[in-house]
Structure 1
């Protein structure tokens, strides 16, 4: 089935052609000046369109290394878990020894019924709050997707107006409160947002057409949200396992730390007294490896979801019948490829981000212990910039991995060829879609928080008591609502990326299988850039990254 799908997909996409970049429809003075400003006239280049690869394990050594590291962490959990139990037991013994010895059994008997009643009441409250949040947030998220599919343009416009209004309100509040510095900052932010909104307003219809296409894919293939939920559960379990392994290993005597035997100070004035714990050389290495493990695994889990979404979008565009149900073959096949044949490529790209992230965090930690950290601060800023570039590059590379099954380097080469083929005639940074999604996630979190607060109030009234659970109830509902909403709406951003690439690579096939959506994207493109002739070669990022026109 996978080979047949690859063959069918490759038949549609496996072509190589000379592709003309987007050029002005007529050599008008305005369009000529546009190209003079950014550089040279965009050339006509040969560009090989993507081709679905036959099933094979790519970048397999990175997948093997990743799986071996997972086994190592699990082994550390098994080996050093007793250390953690001993530490917890010792702390409990120290804290409760006196109280346990003085406790009277008759007092226990008198208060046991009240304690049981309180425990039952609290458990009922927690279960109700969790149920309301876990059910309410996904329902609200699906309603939001429905509203997006019908009112994407208005919502994108509203998100910009909302951002401006929030800054204006904060500016006024801070002026009244006598905080001129904060008021000035929000005034500047509001002015910048007004300028930004004016400059991107004409792009909103095109952004809306991409957003509607992405929402259509997600609603037809709801199983993608289950993949996202599964990734969250895996990440949760992994975080617990990693914490146990790291803590248990750090408690192993003379492995990561040793006890200082004399007073000493380093060049930065940090002193160690006899008996203090200090990090060993092996401990420093293990510390770095543990945190590299955490960052790497986190990136791999996130990127598995991204490539799965990209593969599902590609199936929907080129083989609609295979991606038109909740748990369609498009979803399951894409997830299978992401966790098998493409796992090595995902691990490769994720490792690069993890290494940069580790180095940046080590520099941050080092800067806290230095009196003069200017050089370290500059290095941190540089690494943060590099990390952003790598993440941006990976975002598009993993779209190619998910669509075609390329190795990581092949996907990266395709990304660069795609960008170069577009001529780099203009670089824009639109965060229209991400801004809207963030606002929607925040609103859903607030609504579930309010619902949980109402539940808490009802419980307090029923018990005729004030247990101070209103704020905890709101925070619990808010956090659960935010997490659940991000699971559903977060995949929309990845879907937008994949749609942009597919429409750029194969506009003909897109129009053949989805004529209404393709026509809307074509029309809104022409309205946004009337002097540029669209030939299926335009890259416009609508979710916070850099795109090419």
Structure 2
């Protein structure tokens, strides 16, 4: 194990001088202790002193070899000077990586903003035509279209439930780390079976079968994961222990969750405005028939294309938001692993330093990886829409086929997310491009033998189950609300699949954003271990022995 300068604790241990007894022992050797507040280097290193040029060099007193030359002048006093995250994890050649992805993301964001403004302005101008002044919670009696009170209450309800459940789960995981894993699996099974039973009672057989499959799948996973739960509990506790030392981890989670709710509300309003402005039905969309949109060609293809664009943009932007949080939090955990027990200590403002890197040099890399996931999520969303429509039509075969396709897309998404998860932790610390970081992270994991360890960790699957749990509840609440209020715009049930799918999306994304700091902490610890596992043995022996106790294979798996 190679010694790394500056990684050991420093401190001054003055030698014990011989006791002074009057004039006795005057020839005994002793050293004068250094002045107060004088910073001394590591005791393991032999300091070399050199006087300025032009001054005489004196050799040590031959008769008293213990007498040393005076210390050099102008040395720092007190604690070592603070250093920043950028100085500790410096980028050798700073450059804006994957710039094309950043430009494309900004263009997508501006396009979504322009579409939102145009659609909402058109909706506002035609509000009287589209809504006829309807005010009841059941919607307007004169028109089937518009942002009625029913839709407003539904959207507020879905966002509010998502926020409360996600934040509540985060606090529960912080307080009851071990119990939350068992509770997550149990609640998913109960909610899945209960939701399936409710859909069976409403004769929604396709949706009932899907939720029943979810419940049985989670029951199987929970049963086969039993032996791996202690290791997941340890990583949960380690992640939260670090977070408790740095309160800004919780602050980032709260701000990120709030930003997610605000963005979800914006997306919901944009969806309704686009529907109200560009839907082609001449019998329902009076504004389009009157030519109030500025373009009388309100075709079905245009409306579908715009809705797909809004959905894709929503996925991409929410993924970028989540990954910015991930990179920012990775700066905290990376600094903790490499610096918290070193001579220099923790760098100043690691969260801010990592956030600056995420918003500058690494923003293109974040946009690139998020784009890949957003495309897969869009395909999954379309698959869910088709599945709900098949359920609406009572076609069980088509519903099951969509479910199988969704499982395949889930598998692909899991593989991509695996690379992204650890690549972004590497990007946070070393600022490389997306593809290079993904390759380097995978190579390190394989070379160090940590790939099996990472795959056996249940932190990500458990938190994904929590997000699905919140999403299922939001979907159920949206369906019950539509059934109880029976709004006019949904008198035929044509909007039910889209609203249920969107409620699922909102609940899933908001909960994922809230839980990102926990995932980021564990991912960064594993990435740091892969980069330099010797630090785990040298600076965190207690953590290493705890990991051995719950995961004995670690001693053979990890390659130092």
224, 234, 259: which is aligned to 1:196? Answer: 224
Q: TM-score, normalised by structure 2?
A: 0.55
Q: Does 2:121 match 1:85?
A: no
1:307 lines up with 2:327 in the alignment? yes
* Higher radius of gyration, 1 or 2: 2
**1:452 — aligned with what?**
none
Which deviations, in whole Å up to 9, do the C-alpha atoms of 1:436-458 show, x marking residues without a partner?
Answer: 768999999xxxxxxxxxxxxxx
- 1:164-202 CA-to-partner distances (Å, cap 9, x unmatched) read 9979x99xx9xxxxxxx99x99998898468525xx53x
Alignment TM-score, normalising by the size of structure 1:
0.56
- Does structure 2 conserve the Cα–Cα contact (< 8 Å) formed by 1:210 and 1:499? no
Whether the 8 Å CA contact 1:6–1:54 is kept in 2: the answer is no
RMSD across aligned C-alpha pairs, in angstroms? 5.3
Offset at residue 77 of structure 1 (A): 3.1
SS state at 1:392 partner: helix
C-alpha displacement at 1:157, in angstroms? Answer: 8.6
1:227 aligns with 2:252: yes
- CA distance, structure 2, for counterparts of residue 432 and residue 342 of structure 1: 28
Secondary structure at the counterpart of residue 426 of structure 2: helix
Q: Which residue of 1 is the match for residue 366 of structure 2?
A: 346
Mapped partners of 2:407, 2:221: distance in 1? 24
Give the Cα–Cα distance (whole angstroms) in 1 for the partners of residues 442 and 306 of structure 2.
36
Q: Give runs of aligned pairs for residues 289-438 of structure 1, distance below 5 A.
A: 289-320=309-340, 329-366=349-386, 368=389, 373=398, 379-421=405-447, 429-430=455-456, 432-433=458-459
Residue 26 (structure 2) aligns with: none
In the alignment, what sits opposite 1:506? Answer: 532
Distance 1:339 1:229, change over 3 A: farther
More helix by share: 1
- Mean Cα deviation higher: 186-195 or 64-73: 186-195
2-structure distance, mates of 1:402, 1:309: 9
2:270 and 2:185 mapped to 1: Cα distance? 48
Q: In 1, distance between residues paired with 2:426 and 2:96?
A: 16
Matched residue count: 390
Q: Which residue of 2 aligns with 1:535?
A: 559
Distance 2:405 2:322 in 1: 27
The structure richer in strand per residue is 1
d(CA) in 2 for partners of 1:58, 1:485 = 29
Change (3 A) 1:2 1:303: farther
Match of 2:238 in 1: 213
Note if contact 2:188-2:469 (Cα within 8 Å) is conserved in structure 1.
Answer: no
Q: CA deviation at 1:499?
A: 0.9
1:517 matched to which residue of 2?
543
* Deviation at residue 279 of structure 1 after TM alignment: 3.8
1:156 offset after TM fit, Å?
7.8
| Alignment match of 2:262 (pick from 229, 237, 258) | 237
In the TM superposition, residue 413 of structure 1 has moved relative to its aligned partner by 0.9
Cα distance, 1:507–1:159 mapped onto 2, change above 3 Å: farther
Deviations 1:250-287 (A, max 9, x none): 444xx663749xxxxxxxxxxxxxxxx97444444323
Deviation, 1:376, is: 6.0
* Structure-1 separation of matches of 2:214 and 2:274: 47
Q: Which runs of 5+ in 2 are unaligned?
A: 1-80, 137-159, 198-207, 284-296, 471-507
Distance, in Å, in 2 between the alignment partners of 1:410 and 1:82 is 44
Match in the other structure for 1:257: 280
SS at match of 2:526: helix
SS in 2 for 1:257: coil
Gaps of 5+ in 1: 11-51, 98-129, 174-180, 261-276, 445-481, 537-549
How far apart, CA to CA, are the structure 2 residues paired with 1:359 and 1:513?
Answer: 45
Kept in 2: contact 1:312–1:331 (CA 8 A): yes
Verify the 8 A CA contact 1:84 1:251 in the aligned structure 2. yes
Once the two structures are superposed, what CA deviation does each residue of 1:286-333 show, in whole Å capped at 9, x if it has no partner? 2322211111111111111122222221011112289999x9601111
